[in-house]
Chains A and B, each alone.
Chain A
Amino acid sequence: MLQKKICMVGAFATGKTSLVARYVQGIYSDKYQTTVGVKIDKKVVTVAGQELNLILWDIHGEDEFQKIRMSYLRGSAAYILVVDGTRRDTLGTVFQLQAKVEDTIGKVPFITIFNKYDLSQDWEVGEEDLEELSQRQWTYCMGSARTGLGVEECFTKLAQMML
């Protein structure tokens, strides 16, 4: 089975941890994230008959108090950018983060997940934002950690991009 290191990055409280929580196997508690700044889980996906063992590095979200430790990104085969669809400013954070990540580890596949898609009444991301993503040629998908909608598909899509 092939192993791949995947990093999850995004602004603080965009739901990175909840996004993976119900789809992965892990042995570490969430405490690691706030102490060491990263929590590691794994997920096995099958793409085109090939089993992939994704080692997910769920990195503590960036906020005014804590910057992301870029050294955690080293050796990643791909990464996931998480945007909170109900807080448009988290998309801006993701644009900045993506540039930093690419500076650190170079060009590798990545996918942007708009989380909290179930909260349609608070949805702040608009057509023009998605248009901008398309112009940047970014792959994105909608998901909801709460209902589980779209999450599995996002992982599968990213796995396909890596093969």
Chain B
Amino acid sequence: MSNLPTNANQDASNPDKPSQADDLTKLRSLLIGPALKEQFENAKLRSEDVSRVLPEAIQLTLKTGDKRVSEAVVPTVEHAIKSSVNTDQNILSEALFPIMGPAIRKAIAAAIQNLTDSLNQSLEHSLSPQSISWRFEAWRTGKSFAEVLLLRTLVYQVEQVFLIHKNSGLVLQHLAAETAAAQDADLVSAMFTAIQDFVRDSFSVSDDTLGSLQVGELTIWVNEGPQAIIACVIRGNPPGQLRQTMENALERIHLVQEQQLHHFQGDSSAFEPSQPYLEECLQSQYQAKKKRASPLKWIGGAAGILLLGLGAWGVLSSYERHQVQSFVDQLNQEAGIVVLRTEKQDGKYAISGLRDPLAPEPADLMAKMDLEPEKFVFYWEPYLSFDAEFIESRVKSLLQPPETVTLKVDTNGTVQASGTAPQAWITEAKQLALRLPNITQFNTQQIVPVEASALAGIKAKIEAQTFFFTQNAQLVPQQNDKLKTLAEDIKQLAKTAKTINQNVAVLVEGHTDRSGSELINLYVREIRAKAIISLLSKQGIEKNLLQAVSIEPSESTTPGLVSQISKSNRKVTFKVIFIHPSDAN
């Protein structure tokens, strides 16, 4: 449409061309020739031409206020959106997600404002001492009464925040408050996703997510985005504002980390930039709590009570306040105690917080500081402190180690045991220790079973025994007491070995001198050993524990001492051997 006519006009209007007939021929060929025909008949060429001017043309019609184009495209756009939704809902919902949140919040905020207003009115006439003090606070801080009421009745802490990959249930980031006892985040995150799926499948709610879970004092709030989920584990009654903080965090994370969310392959380190947003869910709640516990509140509250003149009970001397504050500070410094809130209740100081059962008694501290116990009430929630000292005493109180054992817990949660202890205790302690939180290993390399050291003692005692014989293989008389002692020792040996599953045997070694023929000597040696075995078995020793051995005399005999050596060699000695279970045969 653009090129051809323009070229034709230029040529026709040029007076310098030599011949008019030439021009006419040219014009004719242009008008009825193949080029113009091609231009009109070829759809592709025509589309190309139109596309060059279409944007400008639309802008022009909009400028002139012509609504026909807008009206014409409405059905097309409607149809396009419809088919986009039909093909894949996610594309459109992902595109709209960042703007829908704020829009919906605005609408909800307006609705809540209405609710607060009506709550204000309905509370207008209620009159309790508490409501009067709240009313005073509202006047002092410039907040509405309903706002103060809501704030004062809320006590909560966000203990953990999970950022979870929606599709796989893998944890992208996890934050826990310092005082919270957190379980393995990987497992909790996956199990949580499984429960979500379970609820969804069980109650046929295909697209909705489980918005909150409540178990006793714990509430779990869940906000779901297209790619990720934020779940907050909250103790107490969370305010609605937290939902907004969570939603904000989720939107920001989707905006900033969209690429990483789309291409997540299991590397959670890519989500470290999300931490500040998640921290907002944790930290803002901390500030609220601190503010509540600050001394300003006390001064402000006392001033309010004074001004209202509600009772003489409210008059606090600055000395007392100082005392209470330093007591609270002192409590907070103790390991295993976290004071969360201090307030005056019916003339007493109500101190509430978390306390490990192993932490020192607040009453003892109170006595030290010369405070009157009747002025205080404590509300402690039990919790487990992971202070090294507590872990160690928890380990000790569970395992009850004998005095001969020293237990140490290192920073990795490994229990190092050293010293000596009964085998039964070692086996049991090894199993028990790992059940405690934060204990990962029980190291027994430094510990010796009592039975093992006892065995060594008995072994030495038995091996020190010698029984002498006359030349005729008769036992030298008056060795009966020795025999009894030996029998007791062997019984003790067998009994102790059994407790630690140790196989044991006693070799009864018969000796002779070198005089006479070796054949006879061998016979005599055996006779001597067997004589002792027979005597021992009469004392109640099992025969299979004993084994006769013949010991040949050594070569080195000093001349001149022959008769003495001969005499001392007519004997039976003992050797205790420990048999490894696999060599038992």
| Chain A contacts to B: CB under 8 angstroms | 2-5, 25-28, 32, 36-38, 40-42, 52-53, 55, 57, 69, 71-72, 74-77
Say yes or no: B197 contacts A72, CB within 8 Å.
Answer: yes
CA distance A147 to B268 in the complex (A): 35
Say yes or no: B197 contacts A71, CB within 8 Å.
Answer: yes
- Chain B residues with CB under 8 Å of A5's CB are 168-170, 190
CA distance A57 to B165 in the complex (A): 15
For residue B425, CB closer than 8 A to chain A, the reply is: no
CA distance A26 to B184 in the complex (A): 9
- Chain B residues with CB under 8 Å of A57's CB are 190, 194
- Chain A residues with CB under 8 Å of B201's CB are 69, 71
5 example contacts (A-B, Cβ-Cβ < 8 A) are as follows: A4-B170, A27-B184, A55-B187, A57-B194, A75-B169
Give the residue name and chain of the A residue nearest to B267 (CB). A2
- Chain A residues with CB under 8 Å of B184's CB are 25, 27, 42
Give the residue name and chain of the A residue nearest to B168 (CB). A75
Cβ distance B183 to chain A, nearest Cβ, rounded Å: 6
Say yes or no: A27 contacts B187, CB within 8 Å.
Answer: yes
| List of 8 A-B pairs having minimum Cβ-Cβ separation, nearest first | A75-B168, A75-B167, A71-B197, A2-B266, A5-B168, A40-B190, A3-B266, A3-B170
CA distance A60 to B167 in the complex (A): 20
CA distance A26 to B190 in the complex (A): 12
Give the residue name and chain of the A residue nearest to B184 (CB). A27
Say yes or no: B198 contacts A77, CB within 8 Å.
Answer: no
Interface residues of B in 135-194 (CB under 8 A from A): 165, 167-171, 183-184, 186-188, 190-191, 194
- Chain B residues with CB under 8 Å of A4's CB are 170, 266
Say yes or no: A75 contacts B195, CB within 8 Å.
Answer: no
Say yes or no: B194 contacts A38, CB within 8 Å.
Answer: yes
- Chain A residues with CB under 8 Å of B197's CB are 69, 71-72, 74
CA distance A4 to B170 in the complex (A): 8
The interface size of chain B toward A, counting residues with CB under 8 Å, comes to: 23
CA distance A69 to B196 in the complex (A): 12
For residue B265, CB closer than 8 A to chain A, the reply is: yes
For residue B200, CB closer than 8 A to chain A, the reply is: yes
Say yes or no: B266 contacts A37, CB within 8 Å.
Answer: no
Which of A26, A27, A74 sits near B167, CB closer than 8 Å? A74
Which of A36, A41, A76 sits near B187, CB closer than 8 Å? A41
Given contacts A2-B265, A5-B170, A76-B168, contact A36 B198 (CB under 8 A): yes
- Chain B residues with CB under 8 Å of A53's CB are 186
Give the residue name and chain of the B residue nearest to A53 (CB). B186
Say yes or no: A40 contacts B191, CB within 8 Å.
Answer: yes
CA distance A76 to B265 in the complex (A): 10
Could you give, for residues 361-402 of chain B, a 1 whenever the CB lies within 8 Å of some chain A CB and a 0 otherwise? 000000000000000000000000000000000000000000
Cβ distance B396 to chain A, nearest Cβ, rounded Å: 24
Cβ distance B150 to chain A, nearest Cβ, rounded Å: 36
Which of B168, B186, B191, B268 sits near A74, CB closer than 8 Å? B168
CA distance A4 to B168 in the complex (A): 9
Cβ distance B392 to chain A, nearest Cβ, rounded Å: 23
CA distance A2 to B170 in the complex (A): 10
- A-B pair count, CB < 8 Å, reads 68
Say yes or no: B169 contacts A36, CB within 8 Å.
Answer: no
- Chain A residues with CB under 8 Å of B187's CB are 26-28, 40-42, 55
Interface residues of B in 308-356 (CB under 8 A from A): none
Cβ distance A152 to chain B, nearest Cβ, rounded Å: 20
- Chain A residues with CB under 8 Å of B194's CB are 36-38, 40, 57, 72
Cβ distance B339 to chain A, nearest Cβ, rounded Å: 30
CA distance A28 to B188 in the complex (A): 9
- Chain B residues with CB under 8 Å of A37's CB are 194, 198
CA distance A156 to B335 in the complex (A): 44
Give the residue name and chain of the B residue nearest to A56 (CB). B190
Give the residue name and chain of the A residue nearest to B190 (CB). A40
Give the residue name and chain of the B residue nearest to A74 (CB). B167
CA distance A75 to B267 in the complex (A): 14
Give the residue name and chain of the B residue nearest to A26 (CB). B187
CA distance A32 to B190 in the complex (A): 13
CA distance A99 to B515 in the complex (A): 90
Say yes or no: A75 contacts B165, CB within 8 Å.
Answer: yes
Which of A32, A69, A77 sits near B266, CB closer than 8 Å? A77
Give the residue name and chain of the A residue nearest to B199 (CB). A36
Cβ distance B471 to chain A, nearest Cβ, rounded Å: 61
Given contacts A25-B184, A40-B187, A41-B187, contact A3 B200 (CB under 8 A): no
Cβ distance B436 to chain A, nearest Cβ, rounded Å: 14
CA distance A40 to B185 in the complex (A): 12
User: What would 5 more interface pairs be, CB under 8 Å, given A25-B184, A74-B167?
Assistant: A26-B187, A42-B184, A69-B201, A76-B168, A77-B266
CA distance A52 to B186 in the complex (A): 13
- Chain B residues with CB under 8 Å of A36's CB are 194-195, 198
Cβ distance A57 to chain B, nearest Cβ, rounded Å: 7
Say yes or no: A32 contacts B191, CB within 8 Å.
Answer: yes
CA distance A36 to B194 in the complex (A): 8
- Chain A residues with CB under 8 Å of B188's CB are 27
Cβ distance B562 to chain A, nearest Cβ, rounded Å: 63
Cβ distance A84 to chain B, nearest Cβ, rounded Å: 24
CA distance A5 to B191 in the complex (A): 12
Say yes or no: B191 contacts A77, CB within 8 Å.
Answer: no
- Chain B residues with CB under 8 Å of A55's CB are 169-170, 186-187, 190
CA distance A26 to B434 in the complex (A): 13
CA distance A28 to B171 in the complex (A): 17
CA distance A25 to B188 in the complex (A): 12
Could you give, for residues 532-556 of chain B, a 1 whenever the CB lies within 8 Å of some chain A CB and a 0 otherwise? 0000000000000000000000000
CA distance A71 to B190 in the complex (A): 13
Which of A38, A41, A71 sits near B200, CB closer than 8 Å? A71
Could you give, for residues 15-35 of chain B, a 1 whenever the CB lies within 8 Å of some chain A CB and a 0 otherwise? 000000000000000000000
Give the residue name and chain of the B residue nearest to A28 (CB). B191
Cβ distance A79 to chain B, nearest Cβ, rounded Å: 12
CA distance A37 to B195 in the complex (A): 9
CA distance A38 to B201 in the complex (A): 13
Say yes or no: B198 contacts A3, CB within 8 Å.
Answer: no
CA distance A91 to B194 in the complex (A): 27
Given contacts A36-B198, A69-B198, A75-B165, contact A3 B171 (CB under 8 A): yes
Cβ distance B209 to chain A, nearest Cβ, rounded Å: 13
Give the residue name and chain of the B residue nearest to A59 (CB). B194
Cβ distance A80 to chain B, nearest Cβ, rounded Å: 16
Give the residue name and chain of the B residue nearest to A25 (CB). B184
- Chain B residues with CB under 8 Å of A27's CB are 183-184, 187-188
Cβ distance B231 to chain A, nearest Cβ, rounded Å: 15
Cβ distance B417 to chain A, nearest Cβ, rounded Å: 22
- Chain A residues with CB under 8 Å of B183's CB are 27
Give the residue name and chain of the A residue nearest to B188 (CB). A27
Cβ distance B191 to chain A, nearest Cβ, rounded Å: 5
